[in-house]
Amino acid sequence: MNTTSATVTQTIELKKGSDGSGMEPGYFARRNVWDWLFAVLMVAGGLVAFTQYNAAMDGYEKGILIGAVPSMIWLGWFWRPLRVLAVAVGALALLAIWLYQTPAGTADLTRADQVFMLKYFISSQSAILWMSMLFFMSTVFYWVGMFSRGGQTFELLGSRLAWVAVTLALVGTMVRWYESHQIGPDIGHIPVSNLYEVFVLFCWMTAAFYLYYEDHYKTRSMGAFVMLVVSAAVGFLLWYTVIREAHEIQPLVPALQSWWMKLHVPANFIGYGTFAIAAMLAFAFLIKQSASESRWYKLAPLWLLGVVLCFEPIVFRQSAAEKGGSYWFVYFGISALIVATIMYGRHRIAARLPSFEVLDDAMYKAIAVGFAFFTIATVLGALWAAEAWGGYWSWDPKETWALIVWLNYAAWLHMRLMKGLRGTVAAWWALVGLVVTTFAFLGVNMFLSGLHSYGEL
């Protein structure tokens, strides 16, 4: 047999099914009964929503609903754990809506304090508080797994708790959406409109993307680092709830009364969440790299973490003086404990972490996904600005810093793809990127004013 014939034969063999009896099945032929059942459920859910609420939707919102159905089906087929998540969230949200109904067939929000399941589990605020506690517990279990002999068991528990927390976060979001419409027809809106709501969005979205990478790379040890940033966000969320009573549903300001918000804000926070994941994986990369070092300047990642964590109470000192001052003292103590634990156990941590190649690849993929969605969000934001304020770009502080974030990660990806950027420099750059992104997300709201001042602290 000549070389050409051998190559053709080998190619045909590679395309055969696992039993060698024929060509590999096509995309739809590879779907199992559960895939198709999930698709039927999504279509049915979309039809029910359209039938019940189409009179309250404009043309754009109908388009979003129609596009959401095939998108959810594809996501569930792409990553099958999402099927279980979607069904669980839908079932619990519908249960909450049903429990809000009175015998007369009308909704009564006071039942949130009367019905056991609503009061303690699946009203919006109850579900979000459960989310907060479970994310904290998940982080603890991931870190216990780093240092215990039964590490895999504890990491599995951390992963399972993270899944439950994501589920309850989504249930809380969906039920809050319903609750807002019951307060008044001019108040109802998708809950991504203020700092409280977007922090909930950031928490579950960041955790969900991490859980995908955990499944993809078949390692749970990265969770100890990624869940730190999720827990930090939860800590801020709880503090913000106390000082502002931010969990109360408020009417939208005029600039936010637009269907663009339903697209722009989630796309933005996919970017924020995946950039945060990349930074925490970069931090893990640097800790693994510096594990064998004893010279103080080689432990710069740890010193940096300590400065950032312990500096945060100073940033919020004004509000801390008004309310919740003791909260930031506790935060300071926990921050110092985290830094000391990582410093002391860095050799054990380095041994538990996946290889440099896995950390580097996951960091790259997280930034690539985040950059794509952040680009989409920026374009959508410009279109929204043209509709709301009459111009695509006004060099508002929020817009300017969004551009800085975009340029930072565009440069990172360019250096990665064109110059082969890897290792230490890439990791440090990703960490700096998180600082820039955090300022664009929070710092602008705290220290600068502009057209986006409705998000101030």
pLDDT one-digit tens code per residue, 338-349: 877 887 888 899
pLDDT given at position 14:
43
pLDDT at 80 over 70: yes
pLDDT given at position 316:
55
Backbone angles phi, psi at 107, to 5 degrees: -85, 140
Q: How far is CA 279 from the centre of its chain?
A: 14
pLDDT given at position 310:
55
Q: For residues 442 and 202, is the Cβ–Cβ distance under 8 A? A: no
Closest CA to 291 of 356, 228, 232: 356
pLDDT mean over 329-345: 78
| Digit-coded pLDDT (tens) for 183-238 | 987 888 889 988 899 999 999 999 999 999 999 999 999 999 999 999 999 988 99
The three-class DSSP label of residue 422 is coil
pLDDT given at position 334:
79
pLDDT given at position 292:
67
**84-117 as b/e: b if 16+ CB within 10 A:** ebbbbbbebbebbbebbeeeeeeeeeebbeebee
pLDDT given at position 13:
46
Q: Tell me whether residue 191 is exposed, middle or buried, using C-beta atoms within 10 angstroms of its C-beta: 0 to 12, 13 to 18, 19 or more.
A: buried
- Residues 43, 37: Cα–Cα separation, whole Å: 10
Closest CA to 276 of 230, 211, 214, 331: 230
Please, which pLDDT band fits residue 64 given cuts at 50, 70 and 90? confident
pLDDT given at position 11:
43
| Digit-coded pLDDT (tens) for 129-140 | 999 999 999 999
Q: For residues 251 and 194, is the Cβ–Cβ distance under 8 A? A: no
**275-291 as b/e: b if 16+ CB within 10 A:** bbbbbbbbbbbbbbbbb
151-183 vs 81-99: helix axis angle to the nearest 10? Answer: 40
pLDDT mean over 51-74: 87
Please, which pLDDT band fits residue 8 given cuts at 50, 70 and 90? very low
What does the chain come to in residues? 457
Q: How far is CA 194 from the centre of its chain?
A: 16
Q: How much is the mean pLDDT over the chain? A: 85
pLDDT at 252 over 60: yes
List Cβ neighbours of 118 (8 Å cut-off, separation of 6 or more).
96, 99, 100, 111, 112, 126
- Residues 342, 250: Cα–Cα separation, whole Å: 41
pLDDT given at position 230:
96
pLDDT given at position 448:
65
| Digit-coded pLDDT (tens) for 141-181 | 999 999 988 889 999 999 999 999 999 999 999 999 999 98
List Cβ neighbours of 77 (8 Å cut-off, separation of 6 or more).
31, 35, 38, 39
pLDDT at 317 over 60: no
Of 137 and 252, the structure prediction assigns the larger pLDDT to 137
pLDDT mean over 40-50: 93
- Residues 416, 438: Cα–Cα separation, whole Å: 23
| Digit-coded pLDDT (tens) for 407-452 | 999 999 999 999 999 988 999 999 999 989 988 888 777 766 655 5
Q: What is the pTM of this model?
A: 0.89
Please, which pLDDT band fits residue 54 given cuts at 50, 70 and 90? confident
